[in-house]
Every structure is written in structure tokens, then in C-alpha cells.
Structure 1
């Protein structure tokens, strides 16, 4: 048990002091539990489980009730990154728990698992992807040029399961499609906002183009893989359609694109500076050579290809997730869901869920009046 508490605490980014404060014990007590010097009571263990959003069984090193083999389930995943081995058994078990909880809440409310329309694409065809991006934008309700904004919320509005989760740095995200649970997109919550947006749409592209591969796990993928290029291109085309790039940059055709313009477009469209340069090349505004040269200069200014220019950050929107909305709706409709179970599903304190439920009830009364 001690190793399991430490494993999940480390994975979810809790410090001993923080966990102890929320659980009502000292840091030394947490350390003693993790070192095997003492054992938490069942009440204390349940409290820790709720705080971290982890099932008590997982902290005890047990299998979840009605659990499935994590290796079997995760064999159907199509990873964006080429390091699937970075998903430890701890991460796998916790993600299975979270997806199972999500599916259980959907079932309570009669929600049908959703999958995007399939458009099989075996290779990389840029013009086909550009054309199809218009259909995807229409499906998302964006029209020809509207900014995507928070793509995580947008995908959730279509009924897809989206889970921000603190993944290892080697993995930006991944997706899965399972018959009973529908489609799932996981994004690395440690990443900056624009990368999470891009990742969610990249995984949407995999669900659209490569749906058949979820039952036939691909070999370890690389960035040069046609499937990855196709997914990257569709994500970029959804975020920044060619007509937007051409309108925004028409005065800079075959010219150096200034940093202030790149930052302005980034903030308005929620897309990284490097994606803007790639889209400018794909739209014919600048050449591939210029795109590469300007990308190299940008990387040098930023101190690395995974960093960005100072003062260009995009704040992550504060929002209710679809899972939160469904969970509170289930509580309001007197579905067989207890507040303690809702707290476990949402990874919140029971008192916090109870307080938020009162706010939902008050709003529901005001709307009814």
C-alpha cells in the first residue's frame, strides 16, 4: 500500500504537505505511510483516494471491481507519441478507472457513446485533408473562419470523452476507441494550453482517419509516419484554415513574418507559433525553406523547440468539464449516485461536491421560476 500511495501522489503532482493538509494529517504522517512505518485507517485511505481521484482499491494494490486487463485495453490505443512504454502500470490502472467512471455516469443519464464520422485515409494527401477539414469544422459548428477556441470543450460538446491527465513529458496525448465506452481523447495536462488544443484535434484526426487501427495496434510510430503527418495536418487546418492564413498574412507573402504578428494570431486562434509558420507554408504564403529558417530562428530565441516566446502564453480556460456537468446532472435528477461516489469520480472532497451541488440546485430553482 505504501508504494501505491507514493506512486499515485507522484504521478498526480501532489506534495506530501499538500496531501497531508487536505487529508487532515501532517506531512510526517504521509511520509510514515509511504515508508511503511504506519498504515492509514480505511477512513483516512478513503479520504486520500477522494482527494487524488483514485479508487481505494488501487491504493490498496487491488484490482478494480469488474476491471479489465489494462494491457488488453491499452493495446487498442493509437499513440501520437512514439513512447507508449512511458505509460506505467500506475497510469494505466488510474486511466481505466477514470474512463470506467465516466462511462458509468453516461450510462446513468442514458448518454450514448459517441464516435466521430469515419473517413479512412491510408497515406498522406494534403489536398484531401484540406478539403475534409472544412467538413470537420462544419461538424464542430465553426464555419469557414471562426477561431476554434477551447477545442477540449468543443469536442466535449459533441459528446466525446476528453480527459486532461498529467502524462509523462514524452506523450502529448493519445486516443482510444472501445465498443462499450465509445471514444476517448487524453491530453497531457502538463502541456501549455495551445499544445493541449492541438493534441486534442490531432487525436480527433486519428479517430477519423485511422479508426480501423484501434483494433490492430500499429507499430511504433514516428513523426515522419504518414499517419502522424495526416493527423498533424488536419489539426492545423482545423485551427487555421487556409483562407484565414491568407487573409492575416497577405501583406507578408514571401517576406519575413514578424514576431508581433505571430503572437497576435497565436492568442486569437489558440495555436502555437510553429503551427502558424507551418500553415503559412502550406497556404503558399512562404516557402518551405523560409518556414524552416524562421522556425530555426524562433527555436533559438525561445531556447528550444518545445518553448515559446516570452509573454506569448495562452491561459487555459476555466471551465466545467463534460464529466462535471453530467455528474451534477445525475445528482440533481436523483439518479443512484451518491455525493461520496461523485466526489470519487471528480477527484474532489465530499464537502466541495456538496457545496457545488447546492449552487446547481439554486440555479435550477431560479431557472424554473
Structure 2
């Protein structure tokens, strides 16, 4: 890297240092103390009125947990999502604060890997939809079907949502273990695009529904950061839209009606078996499936409450009907974030990062890093499939 790459103006560097400090939730007093300077000097540096010395930058980068490369490299993109989440009223909770910081760190790691590998992210975003006057649920239904058509999905069930988000749309998707009440986070930045973090501790159908909900925010309220908490149903139009969009995208109206007719033909009552078959077909929870049937008028309002008052629909019953156990196993932290992992593996192979740096960037333990690298080495044993370019 040439010297020119590091030639930032004091104003540019000061702004990056300020964003890094705020993201790390460090006070100016603490930062000044770490850099062995007065607080007034730090203020001048952040305002671009005084150039930072190398030893000061080194001390601040260690304190903020940011690489000097990310701070100084001219063409690097600096990620500052945490202050946006902190502007939301519910962010005072430590679990939410941790999730916001984790999402920020994972995006920053992916961007830094793109920089050192010379890789550019490809985006394939549909136009953002403004929320219109009237019933936002009807708009969400319409927008969800339009997106399905735009993606070439038609009315078919979605076998796996996250490859669609990551590979077809170009959304940055990550999965890590979060506080149990945090289902997912969404943020958008003009420099890094749309980013989603999913709670890996939740079962597969819940992760899918969270992804559908966050996709709704991506479509209609892209520039508003969002924290999705299970069991928390906001009355805002934005939340009603996102909930309705996720439901409509994962369980399209006509297909639900067709499959409902198929599984209930010859029956006189809606049974647990019907719900298990339908929820398994669409990959959503039993509750989400029943509520969708209620919404479409295929069963009476209060059906889910009746099931809950009469023993619910258990995993054992799912196993009896489908012959397999219900997927209530939490995901590993390697379940999503496939692009981030691939970039990190490639950087490690080229000796651009160490295993320790890889562990820190991916926010996973050294044992999981070694597992990733071993799998990658096994995949490349046979040169028959070596890429020709």
C-alpha cells in the first residue's frame, strides 16, 4: 500500500476517530487518557482542527477495537451503525446494545476483507417502497408478491430464505447467538448496504420468520434501523407492514389456499395434522401458520388460542405426522454469513490475516475457525474442480 493511500485530511481522520469512539461507547475523557493527551486536544482532533500523531492513533485504535488500516486507508469504508441503533428508545438494554455492536463489527470485518482482497460487493436491490395511506397490510401483501415475481419465485414455497437475501439480493446476512429476546436487527448504510443479524439461538422457523420481517423493513423502511424482538408487536405502521410483509412473502395467499384445500379435502374439522403439514410445507412455525389461516378467512379467529388452551401442537406430534423430529435445534453460528466466511478463508490462504485475526473478525472461537479452515482444505483436495479463471 502506497503512502498516498493513507493521506487523509485531519477533518476526515477526525470524523473517523469520533465515529469509532462513539461506536465503542468510549467517553472523550477515557479516550484522551488512553492517548496521553488532554480532553481539549482530543476534541480538536475529532473536529479536524489538530492533526493526530501516529502514537495517538495507535493508542485510540487499540481502545476502540478498530484496526489502523480501517482508520487510515483512504479508500476504506468506515462502518458506524451502532450510534444509529442507540438513537432508538429500546436500545438501553444490554442485550440489544451487544447485538448492535456485534452487527457493526461483523459488517466492518466483511468490508475490511473486501478491501484487502480487492473484492467489490454486488447489490441487486429492488426499488424502495414508501408506505402509502390506507391499510399497510394490504400494501405489504401486494409488495411481497411483487418481490416474489421480481425474484422469479412466483407462488412457490421458499425452501431457504437466507440464500435469497444474501445471494440474490446482496444483503449482508449474519447469524450469531444473541440475547433470547432479540430475534434480529436490520440496518442500512449508503456505503455498506443492507445488513441483517439473526439470532442463531432460535429455532429454524423463528429465524426464517425474523428474516421475512427484516426483509419487510428492507423493502419499505430501508433507512430506519430496526430491532425485532419476539413477542413484541408494535402498533406503528412500520411494524405492521413488516409483520404483514414477512407473512405474505413466506406464505403467499394463493398457495396457502391451494394447499389448505389439498390437505383438508374430505375432512370436516381443522386438525393438528393439517397445521403440521402446512407449517412444514411453508417452513414457518405452527402459530404463524394458524394466524395466516385466520387472516385469510380459512379458519375462525381464535383458532390458535383454542389449540393453546387444549394442549397446543407439540414437537412429538410433529414427529408422529412427518416422521422426523421438529426442527427446534438452534443453528450453529456457521449457519449463515457464508460470504463473510468465504472472504476470511481466502484472506487467510493468502496470508493476509492470521487465525487469531480471523477469530476476532468473525467473532467466533479459535476451534470453530480451525473447523472452517479444515473444511475448506478438504474441499480443495481434488484439483479436478479447480476454477479456471
TM-score range, shorter chain: 0.5 to 0.7
Shift of 1:192: 1.4
Q: 1:252-282, CA deviations, whole angstroms, 9 ceiling, x for partnerless residues?
A: 5997421111111111211112221222233
SS in 1 for 2:182: coil
Q: Does the 8 Å CA contact 1:262/1:276 hold for their aligned counterparts?
A: yes
Aligned pairs (5 A) from 1:20-59: none
Q: Aligned partners of 1:106 and 1:114: how far apart in 2? A: 18
Deviations 1:320-355 (A, max 9, x none): 6232233334455x3834444334333242543442
User: 1:127 & 1:273 partners in 2: Cα distance?
Assistant: 23
Counterpart of 2:315 in structure 1 is 310
- Any conservation in 2 of the 1:115–1:183 contact (CA below 8 Å)? no
SS for the counterpart of 1:142 is: coil
C-alpha distance in structure 1 between counterparts of 2:295 and 2:241, whole Å: 13
Matched, 1:336 2:352: yes
Please list every run of 5 or more consecutive structure 1 residues that lacks an aligned counterpart in the other structure. 1-56, 216-220
Equivalence for 1:160 = 171
- Contact in 2 for aligned 1:76/1:214 (Cα 8 Å): no
Q: Equivalents in 1 of 2:309, 2:85: separation in Å?
A: 38
Corresponding residue to 2:286 among 273, 277, 282? 273
Aligned position for 1:179: 190
CA deviation digits over 1:14-63, x for unaligned, max 9?
xxxxxxxxxxxxxxxxxxxxxxxxxxxxxxxxxxxxxxxxxxx9xx9754
Alpha-carbon spacing, 1:120–1:327, altered in 2? closer, same or farther (3 Å): same
Larger Rg: 2
Is the 8 Å Cα contact of residues 172 and 187 (structure 1) preserved in structure 2? Answer: yes
Q: CA deviation at 1:178?
A: 1.4
Give the alignment's TM-score, normalised by structure 2.
0.64
Higher relative contact order (CA 8 A, sep 6+): 1
Alignment RMSD: 3.5
Deviation track 1:83-137 (CA, whole Å, cap 9, x = no partner) reads: 4333454444333222211222234322246655311114543333222212212
**1:295 deviation in Å?**
1.2
Pick closer, same or farther for the CA change 1:204–1:352 going to 2, 3 Å. Answer: same
Distance in structure 2 (CA, Å) of the matches to 1:352 and 1:280: 43
Distance 1:152 1:76, change over 3 A: farther
For residue 191 of structure 1, give the secondary structure of its aligned residue in structure 2. Answer: coil
SS of the counterpart of 1:211? coil
Q: 2: distance between equivalents of 1:324 and 1:71?
A: 22
Shift of 1:151: 1.2
> Do 1:277 and 1:291's aligned partners in 2 also have CA atoms closer than 8 Å?
no
Cα 1:269/1:91, change in 2 over 3 Å: closer
User: SS state of the match for residue 196, structure 2?
Assistant: strand
Equivalent residues of 2:344, 2:358 under 8 A apart:
yes
1:85 aligns with 2:85: no
Change (3 A) 1:342 1:113: farther
- Normalising by structure 1, report the TM-score: 0.67
Corresponding residue for residue 262 of structure 1:
275
